[in-house]
A and B are shown apart, each in its own frame.
Chain A
């Protein structure tokens, strides 16, 4: 029989979204322990459910492998006199509790020493685990901890029992006043409150008999299968990966139940119905093939079933009460037109220094006017935050923006207006789509820009873990909008300056803030590019401070072109040469003037100038058109001429006239390069 070690930490219900990360930490910690102690396993299974965190290691050795140890004693010169052991040798042998003849002599860098070689027996596996487990439990890091007993130990929820079994025997684990045994606990209502395990290997099976599926994979499969089974014919569950994940960790024995609600409630917008079901009740919504919501829901219970229909009736009643509330909010909210809610925003604070949402709305309106003369954009901007005073948003805050859009639609605003309001918080993440319309893109851009620049001006700067206004997400969103909608008519410094000039009517926005905000936004751009696989040197080339100003989509195109050119011999050689050009120019003051052809004395410099003049129109036209690949290919053709110049000519000639002319030539070339990227940053490829 293979050795098995089982450990289970019994807890009161752990918050669902914290369980999986903790299970991951447990795996890492146990793996590290095994490695550190040279314990090999065939399998390490982690089990995590609301009331337990466990692992089962299969195929462990009985004990650690034994290992050789070498203990150095005194130098041979001291330990031996005339070939016989001296007192120093005896002393060492005594200290090590051996006889002198058990000692040997080893050579080290410092000379010959008397030494004792001995074999250390490995410790027994269960002892190692028992000694290490308390430390492993305590090392699990939770987002939020609590006290529950006088020992002042903090953990996510109270620990109530421990199981530690080495095959059939309990292992001596003690922690926080609890002693590990062989008794686990079944489902609160369907299983036994004490389930004695005869051996480590029967853990999963015995718990299953007691209505606990300890393995999340089993729970996941059961939920998926039953969701499918319970979905009425020709309908489908509206996909909700987050909820699906959550219900796996909310239940120890999940079972899917279908319920229904009165179809009169379908008059409420679908977004509201889904949010009520999802957010408040953790129900899955059901739609027909065309995506139209149907008056059913699926819920995941923590029990075996509902033969009498009592549970379904209960859930339906709770949902009905919530939907009645929502219907009431929808109809009362519609009695006040959105536009009339604008003055009410005086009472809704955005941020102390930045004022109310009314003031924010005014700033966003002004910013929109700077961005585009679009009339619909102006209207949408004025309605932007009006839904914050609606009862629905007060109750279901995650619907802000969406509700404004829906109310605007009910009030017959054109689609480009209501959709812009509806999508104002998009994109919510890197995976989420940007607003779908041009008007919506500009509106969301203006709102986020005002928030980010405004907060920096008000001294709210994200640090490490603290980012109360979610400025990283906002900045990321605004970058994604610029990228997705290819809004290259706006440079990042231009946008920040526009927001700043409007904010300045309210509070001081010093230059330092502008520098910080730009750096903050640029970091997001770099991050997004990096996520898309742009290598570091290319990032450094396109974001070099000398390459300005940054326009997001254009910069992306440059990076793509550089990634293609990178690795080509001519281009890499040119990159090296350009570094030389940059170094020379960096040390010189250049009086700007045209290159004088007459002073191009050496054929090499004349040739370079000629080639440069030849390619320059093509390069600049291609760059203008965003065809950076063509531009870079042309630039790469300069390689031969540049190399020849450096071979033939001393740029820093004695003659000031010649020297300055050469510097001007290099400057013009460098200028052409830097309009695209600082290619001196490009690293040679490894091969």
Chain B
């Protein structure tokens, strides 16, 4: 086993290498704040329409409400997902996935691995799928989904989406009790690389963020998204949809949204996502 494999970066390197060898396009993280790898256009837009595609990338994922000021050993404002899309899903997709775990040096015959029902759904993206959470000795390490709908569109062919929770897998492989104790590299701990970021962004999203400005931004982003759609610019429109989504998450963690408003705002973001998806598909068909 190469020495760097017991580090966080080594783990990422091995997994990306595995999927590169499998024939995936290796993409880069999307350069906007997103809550999950699914929101990267390489997933949300690529699963639409008929073209086959295989892609893998790491996506730093921000969830303002999950922030714990860098003090909780397992909860983070920002965690890392490694996302794989296989379109169409191959018949042996589960076996290939299990091979990727073996590539990490996990001997599955000495562990308790199971696929337990967990159907993924994103109301803001108008997307859902059928699948499992993959549990390794009781720890959820991957969300495995057969995408059924995105942006309100029925999908065909069906894509398989594998979302690895990298911090989870790393604490398992490195046998650590806290994510902050992980070795990011042989010389730097996860805490050294990220703890300050956790503290400051938690503080920002729970205490500092300017609600009025965020509401204002939300409205402006929404308007710009619609303007882009009118100009047949589906991809820029999607950027603004993502900005709306993150702004909503910030407002939510700030406690600025009542339950009644919440439903309405989710519906507004979904409306954008649905319109982007249909514009994306229609432009392709022309």
Q: Which residues of A contact B (CB under 8 A)?
A: 12-13, 15-16, 50, 144, 146-150, 152, 157-158, 160, 188-190, 193, 250-251, 281, 299, 301-303, 306, 308, 310-311, 313-315, 317-321, 324-325, 328, 346-349, 352, 356
Contact = CB atoms under 8 A, between A and B. Distances in A.
A311 B109 contact: no
A152 B129 CA distance: 15
B157 interface: yes
B148 A303 contact: no
B114 A250 contact: yes
Contact of A152 (B72, B110, B156, B263): B156
Contact of B115 (A12, A310, A324): A12
A303 B111 contact: yes
Contacts of A15: 117
B136 interface: yes
24 contacts: A12-B115, A13-B114, A13-B117, A148-B146, A149-B157, A150-B88, A188-B108, A250-B114, A281-B138, A302-B114, A306-B112, A308-B110, A310-B110, A311-B111, A311-B112, A314-B111, A315-B112, A317-B139, A318-B139, A320-B177, A321-B74, A325-B72, A328-B72, A349-B259
A324 B71 CA distance: 12
B91 interface: yes
Contacts of A346: 258
B73 A314 contact: no
Contacts of A149: 88, 157-158
Given A50-B115, A144-B130, A356-B260, 12 more contacts: A13-B116, A13-B117, A147-B155, A147-B156, A189-B108, A302-B112, A311-B111, A311-B112, A314-B139, A321-B73, A325-B75, A346-B258
A306 B146 CA distance: 32
3 closest residue pairs by CB, A with B: A314-B137, A15-B117, A146-B130
B94 interface: yes
Nearest to A318: B138
B260 A13 contact: no
Contacts of B148: 146-147
B177 A317 contact: yes
B98 interface: yes
A349 B260 contact: yes
Nearest to B91: A160
B26 to A, nearest CB: 25
Contacts of B94: 12
Interface string B107-125: 0111111111101000000
Contacts of B136: 314
B271 interface: no
B100 interface: no
Nearest to A310: B110
A183 to B, nearest CB: 15
Contacts of A320: 177
A13 B158 CA distance: 18
Contacts of B158: 146-149
A190 B109 contact: yes
A318 B137 contact: yes
Nearest to A16: B117
A604 B110 CA distance: 93
A590 B111 CA distance: 84
B173 to A, nearest CB: 11
Interface in B161-178: 172, 177
Contacts of A148: 89, 146, 158
Contact of B113 (A144, A302, A306): A302
B137 A315 contact: yes
Most chain B CB inside 10 Å of its own CB: which residue of A189, A301, A349: A189
Interface in B50-80: 72-75
B114 A189 contact: no
B138 A299 contact: yes
B215 interface: no
Contact of A157 (B74, B130, B263): B130
Contacts of A281: 138
Contacts of B109: 189-190, 303
Nearest to B154: A147
A320 B176 CA distance: 13
A325 B72 CA distance: 9
Contacts of B95: 193
Given A311-B137, A348-B259, A349-B260, A301 B73 contact: no
Contacts of A348: 259
B260 A310 contact: no
B269 to A, nearest CB: 18
B132 interface: yes
A537 B145 CA distance: 53
Given A188-B108, A189-B108, A310 B117 contact: no
Nearest to A347: B258
A208 B68 CA distance: 47
Contacts of B260: 349, 352, 356
